[in-house]
Amino acid sequence: MTRKVLIIGGVAGGASAAARLRRLDESAEIIMFERGEHISFANCGLPYYVGGIIPERDSLLVQTPRAMQRRFNIDVRTFSEVVRIIPAEKKIRVRNLLDDSTYEENYDYLVLSPGATPFKPPVPGIDLPNVFTVRNIPDSDQIKNWVSAERAATAVVVGGGFVGLEMAENLIHAGLKVALVEAGDQVMMPLDREMANIVHRYLRRRGIALYLSERMVSCEGEGRVKEVKLAGGGVLPADLVILGTGVLPEAELARDAGLTVGPTRGIAVNEYLQTSDPFIYAVGDAIQVQNFVSGMETMIPLAGPANKQGRIVADNICGRPSKYEGTLGTAIAKIFDMAVATTGLNEKTLKKMEQRYEVSYTHPAPYATYYPGGSFMSIKLIFDPENGKILGAQIVGYEGVDKRIDVLAACIRKGLNVFDLQELELAYAPPFSSAKDPVNMAGYVAGNIINGDVDIVHWHQIDELKSQGAIIVDVRTRHEHLEGAIPGAVNIPVDSLRDRMSELPRDSQIVLCCRVGMRAYYAYRILKQHGYTRAKNLSGGYLTYDPAVNG
């Protein structure tokens, strides 16, 4: 029996489902409906096309309707908007946007891949012609054309998420002066605040004016935006405004059809990606998913999971039972030369969950320190203090960030712990890594904490400890100490510690600090074995403390 499958929406999830369906079933009748012109394009590449890093528009087209039809024998109908689903009759109603005609199409199975739509804050002037969202190729065309035709010099980007930051960078590349407005107190909400502060410093160095804990309250101008007014009273010049204020799942079609929509406003699906109607599946940015670590329902709009979901749906339709086991939320962004990556849960989420956790910070080089060039990365590892199970990780750096976050994401997916990180055998040569890879080092540091080989404190505890009389001992060199240190810290270099130990009272609480935590760990081991029972190490050292406290 020939099965008929209708797919609403393309891009990652829908196109993936269609191609997989054809590979599994040559006889199936497959029809794709897309209300726009393009069925499969690289929406993650849109900012880089605006900035000229991707010079050719056609490079963004993953699959054209004609190519999809020829290779996979799929009936692709662009400029076709599905306006209603009738589950009881297993039909959909379609409007042809070219001639405004409507017709109905029946199905055996229906796949929903409508994606998400950019959120537009309800403020005056938001609909003026030079206020743009970044969802599809026509959006990027409009931005690029406006910048060129209007000789734009200033831009305001609203929202400090992945899209907002990528657009800010690429507008700088295009020669504009850029201000970024973020309602929260940090950019990139998957990061915890101290990690985001590293990004803040870098953005300012690269010429982006940051307005944190600020809201846009209006777009001012006659016929076009000229200025953006902020809640705090500031006014920013703007030849164009980019909205990177997040997305909302396009679930209206499903809701109107009586399908269950979850508390996140996404379409509810089971582990097989079926909606509340077993003949209707849903994938991509429109669905509510389970967080792989916490098991909580959430929205995680990422291309990788959407592609996997499309494949799983095709398997299930073709009688190959396949489950979607949740989304980990692994993501990375390039901001100029900097890479920012996250996976799993962050500390903010774990606090809300009231789940126990511990944190370690390391600042390793991406490859052998004696090899020319290179820089340091900052790794935050979050784990269960009892069994060492890895709960999440965040990395901010330049080279090698992608490799390390991917290793950590794979470890979380497989339920590994920090001691397993120590045992990983990872590729080593001086241009690529160290004999102890940064992932190994993160495992060793976290393992030392669990095993009791070091007692740590964190950056946010320093002021309270000082108020209780704790002595902060900076074990770096005098030159390093003079370049910047925790206020009130005593400087005793680690190599002089044994000779100057008498300067430290044994009954006082002593917090040891160095640049990244390693020399302070050596100092901790010295003091501990000489009877200093109240010694502690500042996790991550001054490289964690300084941006976390001083912004």
pLDDT at residue number 11: 78
DSSP state of 59: G
- Going across the sheet that includes 216-220, the strands are 216-220, 227-230, 235-237
pLDDT at residue number 6: 98
Q: pLDDT tens digits, residue range 243-254?
A: 999 899 999 999
Average pLDDT over residues 180-202: 97
- If residue 469 lies in a helix (H) or strand (E), which one and from where to where? none
What confidence tier does 50 reach under pLDDT thresholds 50, 70, 90? confident
pLDDT at residue number 140: 87
What confidence tier does 41 reach under pLDDT thresholds 50, 70, 90? low
Average pLDDT over residues 87-97: 97
Exposure pattern of 387-421 as b/e (b: 16+ CB <10 Å)? ebbbbbbbbbbbbbbebbbebbbebbbeebbbebb
Give percent of the chain above pLDDT 70: 99
Indicate the range of 40-54, 302-316, 364-378, 411-425 predicted with least confidence.
40-54
What confidence tier does 46 reach under pLDDT thresholds 50, 70, 90? confident
C-alpha pair distances (Å), 261 with each of 83, 119, 233, 277, 454: 18, 18, 39, 12, 48
DSSP state of 258: T
Q: How far apart are CA 367 and CA 363, in angstroms?
A: 12
- If residue 204 lies in a helix (H) or strand (E), which one and from where to where? helix 193-205
Q: How far apart are CA 202 and CA 206, in angstroms?
A: 6
What confidence tier does 40 reach under pLDDT thresholds 50, 70, 90? low
The catalytic residues are 44
pLDDT at residue number 39: 74
What confidence tier does 61 reach under pLDDT thresholds 50, 70, 90? low
Q: How far apart are CA 343 and CA 351, in angstroms?
A: 17
Average pLDDT over residues 209-225: 96
Average pLDDT over residues 32-42: 80
pLDDT at residue number 42: 64
DSSP states of 62-78: EE-HHHHHHHH--EEEE
What confidence tier does 345 reach under pLDDT thresholds 50, 70, 90? very high
pLDDT at residue number 69: 83
pLDDT at residue number 551: 85
Cα angle for residues 294, 457, 395 (degrees, 5° grid)? 50
- 52 has a pLDDT exceeding 90: no
- 467 has a pLDDT exceeding 90: yes
What confidence tier does 59 reach under pLDDT thresholds 50, 70, 90? confident
Average pLDDT over residues 345-372: 94
Average pLDDT over residues 158-187: 95
- Residue 548 φ/ψ region, left for φ over 0, alpha for ψ in the -120 to 50 degree band, beta for the rest: alpha
What confidence tier does 483 reach under pLDDT thresholds 50, 70, 90? very high
pLDDT at residue number 455: 97
pLDDT at residue number 518: 95
- 54 has a pLDDT exceeding 90: no
- Residue 388 φ/ψ region, left for φ over 0, alpha for ψ in the -120 to 50 degree band, beta for the rest: left
Indicate the range of 103-107, 116-120, 187-191 predicted with least confidence.
116-120
User: Which neighbouring-strand residues pair with 327?
Assistant: 291
pLDDT at residue number 8: 96
Average pLDDT over residues 25-32: 96
- 370 has a pLDDT exceeding 90: no
What confidence tier does 10 reach under pLDDT thresholds 50, 70, 90? confident
> Are the beta carbons of 159 and 243 closer than 8 angstroms?
yes
- Report pTM: 0.93
pLDDT at residue number 36: 83
- 1 has a pLDDT exceeding 90: no
* Average pLDDT score over the chain: 94
What confidence tier does 369 reach under pLDDT thresholds 50, 70, 90? confident
